[in-house]
Amino acid sequence: MSLEIKNRKLYNVGLSYKKADATTRGAFSITKENQKLLLKDAKNFGIDGVFVLSTCNRTEIMGFAYHPFELISLLCKYSSGEIEDFVSVSNVYKDKDAIRHLFKTATGLDSQILGDYEIVGQLKESFKLAQKHKTLNAYLERLINLVLQASKKVKNSTKLSSGTTSVSYAAVQYVVDKVEDYSNKNILVYGLGDIGKNTCKNLIEYAQNKNVTLINRTESKAKEFVKEHPLVKVSSLDKLTEEISKADILIVSTGANVPTVTLDHITTKKELLILDLSMPENVDRAVLALESVSLVNIDELSKITDKTIEERQKEVPKAEAIIMSHKAEFIEWLDHRKFTPAVNALKESLMTIQNDEIDFQSKKIKDFNAEQAEVITSRMIQKITTQFVKHLKAEDTSVDQSIEVISKMFDIEINE
């Protein structure tokens, strides 16, 4: 099967933690504003059906194009990466492989931390953004719907997401494993995206720490968050340097294009552990010049596993089976969408032949029973079209080729 819209094919182009380190991924990350511009650009180019996913572990564009380079060019245009660098670390998936890749991504099978469920929220945001800018077509709408169904089923009916399965959880696990008396340390969380929110929650619930301070660029969002989590204290952005001086641990998840924590922000000589959960990295690596500072990034955190990893790996076949089921449903929908117009066109052509022949025989034969002839020939038309549907549904059938043959035989035009 080849997914096609006006001779375009479905591609997924991008890079991930598998081939690209944190620095390289940072260069190819795409800001929310640039994602909007990219979608607008793609629409102007006539690309029908496209969305962008840019997270700490991957940057990908999925959509219909004549050639994958159309999407690669957009990715490089709206990031700070170069095409030459992209080629050495990239992945390009086409048609069924692109579909399978999206299912694996949404279910956590392709995550840097097996079973990472934070990706689902990020995917939903990407889909909503594309929907808002009207760059999703019926194909992608249906695919996304089934991908999210599969993700939900994997989450609810397997143990793939048990234990350390997200960056935010891994950060807290790192603190628990590496820091003595962690529950009494002063912890500053800088940034309140999804990762920042989940980190705060895990620090309170899992690390049992009651000394968490939160700073966010938009202070009102931080104050709204602490209404539901009153154990977290809020401080303002202009007090960042002051709060860092009080902290034993700094967790950064600001998601900016440039470092939000620099050497100038660190004014004390006491030991400070910094966990940078941002992509691109938001902590200037110049801070490593300070002997008192330890800096850990996402790639280092992803190496952390706990005792549930073996149990989670056993759940992979179950997740694969769920993916197969939903993917098969999507392929069946695609085939049905493709051959229904062909079946209808064939039926209309046969009915035209039927009406012409009955009309001809009625004029030629004096006592010709037109009503009975219509009943008989209608049954024949129904049997022929039913047989055609069975043929198109058969596994060894080339749907495109069969439709082309029927089109030529009956001289019919098929509009999808």
CATH number at residue 290: 3.40.50.720
Same structural domain, 118 and 254: no
- Distance set, CA 134 to CA 9, 123, 149, 362 (Å): 19, 16, 22, 54
In a domain? residue 406: yes
- Predicted TM-score (pTM) of this structure: 0.72
Catalytic residues: 56
Closest CA to 121 of 109, 132, 131, 108: 108
- Asked if residues 62 and 11 have their Cβ atoms less than 8 Å apart, the reply is yes
Same structural domain, 156 and 8: yes
In a domain? residue 315: no
Same structural domain, 228 and 92: no
Same structural domain, 109 and 201: no
Same structural domain, 132 and 172: no
- Bridge partners, 329 (sequence order): none
pLDDT at 5: 62
CATH of the domain at 137: 3.30.460.30
Domain region containing 393 = 339-410
Kindly indicate the confidence band of residue 1, based on its pLDDT and cuts at 50, 70 and 90.
Answer: very low
Same structural domain, 17 and 156: yes
Please give the Cα distance from 42 to 36 (Å, whole number): 10
Same structural domain, 108 and 84: yes
In a domain? residue 416: no
In a domain? residue 324: no
Residue 93 has pLDDT above 80, yes or no: yes
* pLDDT tens figures, 169-214: 889 989 998 999 999 999 999 999 888 999 999 899 888 999 999 9
**What are the helix (H) ranges across 181-262?**
194-205, 219-228, 240-246
Domain total of the chain: 3
Q: Which residue, 161, 190, 206, sits at the end of a domain? A: 161
Same structural domain, 156 and 177: no
* pLDDT tens figures, 340-380: 888 888 899 999 999 999 999 999 998 899 999 999 999 99
2 or 23, which is more confident: 23
Same structural domain, 128 and 185: no
Please give the Cα distance from 64 to 98 (Å, whole number): 11
* pLDDT tens figures, 272-286: 999 999 988 999 999
* pLDDT tens figures, 157-172: 998 877 656 788 889 9
Same structural domain, 154 and 209: no
In a domain? residue 331: no
Q: Which residue, 125, 142, 161, sits at the end of a domain? A: 161
